[in-house]
């Protein structure tokens, strides 16, 4: 007898792998723009190029699709912070963290917007992950920064708000892309704006955190 839902099979078929990939790709397109409530299965089905019942064969509900997407995105989204090295040089660690986050905003803007949409709606689907794994990771890295400040390697500052400010400034170029382009005008809306942003942000954070000399 046939098992009606692919999700329940033991071994994943080649077709399953492929189709689920296509679906999640389409779902990312749609969810990242309209959020969960504002997106429809029909929209996703159209982008994915398959029928709605066919989508629902792979993901039983709209929620399941969103869930799978969020889980995947959340993991890769934290990669740059995980790579933040306690043993590295503070200045270059912060510098390369900013670079990595900015690269992600440039290369994966949909993922950033999906996450932003979820936050705006009060994180109804991921609050547990925020309070659990996310908080744990941030706590760990915040402690690293605190030690750097205590040892005089960087200026004293609230490590949590430092992390928030790096998040917000970098993700801004993905989430508020339309606004950035509108303000910069068409002549500065090429990919070069990410380089400009990188230069500015590195200056801001590095100078802002540098220990001040007697003339500072």
2 binds, among DNA, its own copies, none (CB under 5 to 8 A by kind): DNA
Q: Which is nearer to its own copies, 8 or 215 (CB)?
A: 215
15 binds, among DNA, its own copies, none (CB under 5 to 8 A by kind): DNA
Instruction: Count Cα neighbours of 7 within 13 Å in the Cβ-side half-sphere.
Output: 11
Least distance CB 5 / DNA (angstroms): 8
The interface with its own copies within residues 87-116 (CB under 8 A) comprises 113, 116
Part of the chain binding its own copies (CB under 8 A), chosen from 7-15, 64-72, 132-140, 146-154:
132-140
Q: Which of 82, 119, 140, 150 binds its own copies (CB under 8 A)?
A: 119
Tell me the C-alpha distance between 64 and 95, whole Å. Answer: 37
Tell me the C-alpha distance between 109 and 113, whole Å. Answer: 6
Q: Where does this chain bind DNA (CB under 7 A)?
A: 1-4, 6, 9, 13-16, 19, 39-43, 50-54, 56-57, 60-63
Q: Which is nearer to its own copies, 12 or 199 (CB)?
A: 199
DSSP code of 39? -
Residue position matching structure tokens 């400010």: 165
Tell me the C-alpha distance between 39 and 212, whole Å. Answer: 50
Part of the chain binding its own copies (CB under 8 A), chosen from 14-22, 64-72, 78-86, 151-159:
151-159
47 binds, among its own copies, DNA, none (CB under 5 to 8 A by kind): none
Return the structure tokens found at 142: 């915040």
CA dihedral sign of residues 150, 152, 156, 162: negative
Neighbours of 65 (CB within 10 A): 26
Phi, psi of 190 (to 5 degrees): -75, 180
Q: Which of 34, 51, 54, 61 binds its own copies (CB under 8 A)?
A: 34
**Alpha-helix runs per DSSP H in the chain:** 14-38, 41-48, 52-58, 62-77, 79-82, 90-107, 109-120, 127-129, 135-150, 159-175, 177-184, 192-209
Residue position matching structure tokens 């900013």: 98
Positions that interact with its own copies (CB under 8 A)? 32-39, 113, 116-117, 119-123, 127, 130-131, 134-135, 138, 155, 157-158, 160-162, 164-165, 167-169, 171-173, 175-180, 182-185, 188, 196-197, 199-201, 203-205, 207-210, 212-216
């Amino acid at each position: 007898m046939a098992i009606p839902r692919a999700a329940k099979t033991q071994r994943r078929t080649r077709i399953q792998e492929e189709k689920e990939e296509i679906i999640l790709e389409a779902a990312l397109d749609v969810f990242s723009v309209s959020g969960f409530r504002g997106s429809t299965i029909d929209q996703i089905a159209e982008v994915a190029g398959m029928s709605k019942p066919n989508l629902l064969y792979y993901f039983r509900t709209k929620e399941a699709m969103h869930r799978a997407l969020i889980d995947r995105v959340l993991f890769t989204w934290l990669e740059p912070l995980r790579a933040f090295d306690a043993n590295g040089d503070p200045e270059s660690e912060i510098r390369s963290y900013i670079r990595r986050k900015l690269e992600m905003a440039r290369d994966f803007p949909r993922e950033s917007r999906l996450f932003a949409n979820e936050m705006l709606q009060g994180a109804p689907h991921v609050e547990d992950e925020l309070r659990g794994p996310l908080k744990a990771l941030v706590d760990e890295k915040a402690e690293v920064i605190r030690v750097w400040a205590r040892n005089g390697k960087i200026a004293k500052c609230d490590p949590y708000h430092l992390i928030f400010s790096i998040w917000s400034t970098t993700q801004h170029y993905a989430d508020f892309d339309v606004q950035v382009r509108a303000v910069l005008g068409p002549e500065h809306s090429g990919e070069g704006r990410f380089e400009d942003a990188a230069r500015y942000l590195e200056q801001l954070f590095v100078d802002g955190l540098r220990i001040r000399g007697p003339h500072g």
